[in-house]
Structure 1
């Protein structure tokens, strides 16, 4: 779907699928006198219609600053627990050859070569996700177990930067709404994404799952942002030059090649987004189509190769035999599950976040020249895109899939929810302005949007509600681990994370110091929720024990209960 704005500012209103009445002239946005930051030019007028008072500057800046502080505070425990994180299962499975190459005295080039060979072998034996396997095989623990925690740091950084970039394109480029709404939207989206993941350990800390899903979701957001800029032919700073467009088109092609070789859920959503960008270019800016089509062609080719890999059929036959639902049941199940999770994930935390964002949405809409036409169509397309994310797992597994898959669906859901609500709020603002234009009067706004004190009280009440809710969850043993940062903080403060880290290093010491090819190690006795994926077994009839033994050059490594 095309999202475009007029290239000129002033009194004009975007035209396109829906045009404003000929007599509708949107009032000039009041501005402060003197040298004022660009963002503060969009502060709404007071109830009298006069220029806004300085109080508006304080409340909006304070609100945005409070959200940044909240985001930073939430990040502290997430980063602080990273040094206690350790590799597990598929980290050893995909990375063992690269690790052994380094152990044998090889260079980083040799490790990369082993990773490429792993991708080749996996293509024919397990799955066709060619780029993802290379990244899995080069997990930080390959170089040193002490570096493994850096993987989670990188995942968090990728998610934050990609979300910020995508939000910047929509808020500053498309809506021309300035930095304050951008800070509010990006902070709230990231807070929801990081705190309410269905499976935090798989979304952030278990490298194998996080790089395969969360990281590729981040790349998809960057692709979407680049596509919007290429279709519009401009950034917030002005029109794109031919060179600027070419550079971004090349970057989009490279991203398309990488993302096409990742997980199928992100792949399906990315294919639809790139296809939508091509349609938007045809309808709105045919001359820009040449910058989108190469990436779309590369993506379709790469995704087709990934799906056609012989390993996919072998995996389906060995792991999911008989689970395939077929096309009709897959579409029906995906549609129903999409609606189900819209209801389940539209919880109090999301409502609170949208409530905090509401004044910023009005602020953005009043500054923007978008018409915000057809909000129901935007909501319908968003729902269809969300439903499409369920199709790969229903088609192959017959269900919604594990927590790591649900993680990126939730991330997508949060982004789409903000877009839909922003579009609906923008449409309401446009209708209010149109009614005011009919009467020749300034649009009347509720006191919340015309009084700095009322707005400050509203935001303070929302923040207190959020803080109170977080505190209540933290004190309730049944829900203490529901929020990722609270769970991480509890593990750090209780010493659980340190105890887990100590047991891991003790196990490695036992293995490395043993002269025997057959080593027995005690099971772990602690496991922080955000870090612990599981343990090895007391037999060699599974791949985890086998790969761990191979990792350390042993014939077998078995676990036993230490207390026995």
Structure 2
């Protein structure tokens, strides 16, 4: 595989990533707030509308965090993010939330992958672009991944921050920022908070083994013993700070209030059920697009693996697979413990991201070790044959991807399976624009001085920016209606056809 081929492949995938982002970002113009966007940002909205002062908004944010911490949930950093949803300025700029989420998601993927591969090259561009396209286009629920600030920031944003921290930990060049990120992630959702601590705990154990149990292998990396110990101490401190955020989150008085409204499982039972959940979703998500992604990466990883060392040479590959599965299973434990279920699809999004990243890492490790084994046995490949087979192989992968796109584009019932295709269709038929115009009329009425208002039912349901379960119902006792009433200071909102 030549450098020219790698460069062209990297440029092609970058173009495809860019093209896939265009409809995703354009349709965000027509997105509007939903449900908890209103509930968590009433204070900040009032502060901005009355003062236009950032200091006043931050003060209102602090009050929201303290109130929610004592009465509903302990995820203090997430509550702060919720209260700052862009719609507090104007519902017309709510689409900024998608830009923020997409930018952080791409940044997290890029920093993590370049750290994992220890280089910035055409190869890392290929991996970054392909995994970003896969995750953003085939995630379980697009609106809860990138178009609903409250749910998307709770999971996609915190997952992105977790990847950024992982990249920093791999590079081992920063200390203060990983501490801040770790504490912030610990104060977010419990799925990423727990997974982040597990990864760091494993990193501590692995570092200790390299320093004190297998020092010869460690010295082969030309790292002085005192420098390795300093890195180890820094890792412990970063983990401790991250754990402090997580503990503050878990011990919040509000968690007990929220727990009273759901049925929980015993801890050991929740752990056991989590493994069953993980196996079920492994079977569901190891589907055609994920398999084609792994096949697409295979020849590029094989080229990269030449003369490369395993990232974890002391750990057998089958142990890595077991650890990855256990980590994946642990993402189900918080919801199984607190709610006796896997939870809503916004949580499935972050599990899906994690699942694919783990698969990519396992494929990388397997390829590096397989190629090293071939080279140690003196098994060589004919360059001419390799080039021929590579061309045929990639053509086969491209054919598979084309079939997948066709299946999810031509039949009407499948057009919402891929985010950008769903967005493009909605834009072309004008559904998103009509929906936004109708929502703008809602806002005009809601900003009036009347305490009871009547809104027309909006029949447009543009995907991926609309989800019926998030919309108001016309029932004054429904929590969705109550949130909007509170936000706009209304006593009642009526809905009519």
1:528 to 459, 462, 478: 462
1:225 is aligned to 167
User: Following the alignment from structure 2 to structure 1, what is the Cα–Cα distance between the partners of residues 311 and 247?
Assistant: 38
Q: Does 1:282 align with 2:228?
A: no
Cα deviation digits, residues 398-444 of structure 1 (max 9, x gap): 111100000000000010000111111111111111110xxxxxx32
Deviation of 1:333 after TM superposition, in Å, equals: 0.6
Task: State the 1:367 CA deviation.
Answer: 4.0
The answer to whether the Cα contact below 8 Å between 2:143 and 2:466 also exists between their aligned partners in 1 is yes
Matched position secondary structure for 1:557: strand
Q: 2:255 — aligned with what?
A: 312
Pick aligned residue for 1:415 from 357, 375, 379:
357
Which of 448, 453, 464 matches 2:399? 464
| Within-5 A mapping of 1:227-376 | 227-230=169-172, 245=173, 248-284=174-210, 285-318=228-261, 320=262, 323-370=263-310, 373=313, 374-376=316-318
Matched residue, 1:28: none
Contact 1:372–1:426 (CA under 8 A) maintained in structure 2: no
- Determine the C-alpha separation between the residues in 1 that align with 2:104 and 2:133: 14
Q: Is the 8 A contact 1:78 1:485 kept in 2?
A: yes
Answer yes or no: is the 8 Å Cα contact 1:228–1:277 preserved in 2. no
Indicate whether 1:63 and 2:6 are aligned.
Answer: no
Contact 2:310 2:369 in 1 (8 A): no
Contact 2:306 / 2:371 at 8 angstroms: preserved in 1? yes
Higher helix share: 2
Q: Deviations over 1:514-534 (max 9, x none)?
A: x53110101210111211133
1:552 & 1:186 partners in 2: Cα distance?
42
CA contact (8 A) 1:128 1:308 kept: yes
- Rounded to whole Å, the distance in 2 between the matches of 1:108 and 1:512 is 22
Q: Distance in 1 between matches of 2:182 and 2:311?
A: 31
Output the aligned Cα RMSD.
1.7
The answer as to whether partners of 2:87 and 2:94 remain within 8 angstroms in 1 is: yes
Aligned counterpart, 2:339: 397
Q: How far apart in 2 are the matches of 1:308 and 1:370?
A: 40
1:42-66 residue CA offsets vs partner (Å, 9 max, x unmatched): x5xxxxxxxxxxxx33332222222
Among 370, 375, 378, the alignment partner of 1:433 is: 375
Q: Distance in 2 between matches of 1:372 and 1:461?
A: 32
Larger radius of gyration: 1
User: TM-score of the superposition, structure 2-length normalised?
Assistant: 0.92
The DSSP-based 3-state class of the residue aligned with 2:459 is: coil
Contact 1:158/1:218 (CA < 8 Å) preserved in 2? yes
Q: Deviations over 1:227-270 (max 9, x none)?
A: 1222xxxxxxxxxxxxxx4xx11111100110010000001100
- Residue by residue over 1:433-491, the C-alpha shift from the partner in whole angstroms, topping out at 9 and shown as x without a partner, is 1110xxxxxx32377x8543442332233223212321221111221111111111111
Contact 1:59 1:456 (8 Å CA) reproduced: no
Alpha carbons 2:264, 2:340 under 8 Å: kept: yes
1:213 — aligned with what? Answer: 155
Q: 2:348 aligns with which of 401, 406, 423?
A: 406
Match of 1:510 among 423, 431, 445: 445
CA contact (8 A) 1:181 1:363 kept: no
Match of 2:225 in 1: none
Once residues 273 and 338 of structure 2 are traced to their aligned partners in structure 1, the CA distance between those partners, rounded to angstroms, is: 12
Q: Is the CA contact 2:30–2:435 (under 8 Å) kept in the aligned structure 1?
A: yes
What secondary structure sits across from 1:305 in the alignment? Answer: helix
Aligned equivalents of 1:182 and 1:295: distance in 2? 27
Decide whether aligned partners of structure 1 residues 279 and 450 sit closer, same or farther in structure 2, where only a CA change above 3 A counts. Answer: farther
| 8 Å CA contact 2:23, 2:424 repeated in 1 | yes
> How many angstroms apart in 2 are the aligned matches of 1:382 and 1:186?
20
1:521 alignment partner, SS class: strand
**Are the counterparts in 1 of residues 61 and 83 from structure 2 also a CA contact under 8 Å?**
yes
Give the CA deviation at 1:281: 2.7
Find the aligned partners of 1:250 and 1:281 in 2 and give their Cα distance.
20
Provide, for residues 112-166 of structure 1, a one-character-per-residue CA deviation record: whole Å limited to 9, x for no partner.
Answer: 1111110100001110001110010010001121211000111001000101100
TM-score by length of 1: 0.82
Q: 1:499 to 1:106 in 2, by over 3 A?
A: closer
> What are the ranges of 5 or more consecutive residues in structure 2 without an aligned counterpart?
211-227
